[in-house]
Amino acid sequence: LRCSVPVNCFVGQSEWSEYFPDCGGTSQSPVDVITTQTKYDPSLVPVMPLGYSQHGNQPFSMHNNGHTVIVELPEWMGLGGLPWFFTAVQLHLHWGNGGPGVGGSEHTINGRSSDAELHVVHYNAELYPNMSAAMTQRDGLAVLGILIETGEETNPGFNNILNYMSRIRHADQRTFIPAFDVQSLLPKDLGRYYRYNGSLTTPPCYQSVIWTLFHERVQISKAQVWLTMRNTKSASVS
């Protein structure tokens, strides 16, 4: 396989490490969490979303980067409960291309995938000045992973994003959406999660992420998933 612009010509994950050496690292994410092999650590306190509900009046910027939808978050949002304070940067979604029931999540639990996965990305604001300085460093980033299942009931929190997806059907399109309570996207139980040191799940795969994968899955409706997929047909949202 030869290509001048690697990001545009991947045929599969197996080739990532040819172009991005970190993708062949020993802590590559995502992982399959095998619950019988996890170790209980009483020092792990519940996840503390800080300022997630203080969204203010400034709209959030949302764009399609050609792979996914990204919502940029205000810098007063952050994450406590870790050895350092982490500032929120953005959230994005991973959807499969198959629709509900096919399993578009990145992380799996005991081999079982979910229909989609939400990631809220933060950087270590105590040790590094900004996201780009932090993203190459061990302990530089903290990402919350939320597994999404589809059912019958509409999840109003997700409509704050999904209602506006049709405005960014194509790569590089950007829009502004009304600010909303980001905590409404998280599961209720913030105390049960899996924590491990891993990496960005896509190139450049920096081994820089403290991962928190919630045990509780969040439900959205099948209609919400179909609507999203229809509105992003040409954007290869994945």
Bridge partner list, 210: 142, 197
Least separation, in Å, of the C-beta of 176 and ligand SG4? Answer: 17
Identify what 65 binds: Zn ion, ligand SG4, none; CB under 5 to 8 Å per kind. Answer: ligand SG4
Least separation, in Å, of the C-beta of 68 and Zn ion? Answer: 7
CA dist., res. 138 & res. 152, Å (int): 40
* Cα distance from N-terminal residue to C-terminal residue, the chain: 23
| 237 contacts 67 by C-beta, under 8 angstroms | yes
CA dist., res. 81 & res. 73, Å (int): 19
Taking the least distance from each CB to Zn ion, the nearer of 95 and 164 is: 95
Selected from 55, 92, 107, 122, the binder of ligand SG4 by CB under 6 A is 92
Residue window 70-89: x/- pattern of binding to ligand SG4, with contact defined by CB under 6 A: x-------------------
94 has catalytic annotation = no
Candidate ranges 9-17, 33-41, 65-73, 75-83; the one touching ligand SG4 (CB under 6 A): 65-73
202 binding ligand SG4? (CB under 6 A): yes
Least separation, in Å, of the C-beta of 116 and Zn ion? Answer: 11
Q: Read off the tokens for 7.
A: 């990001």
177 CB-contact burial (10 Å; exposed 0-12 / middle 13-18 / buried 19+) = middle
Spot the catalytic one: 67, 92, 122, 215: 67
3-state secondary structure of 4: coil
Residue type at 18? E
CA dist., res. 178 & res. 164, Å (int): 10
Give catalytic residues, as residue numbers: 67
Q: Which residues bind ligand SG4 (CB under 6 A)?
A: 65, 67-68, 70, 90, 92, 119, 121, 135, 143, 200-202
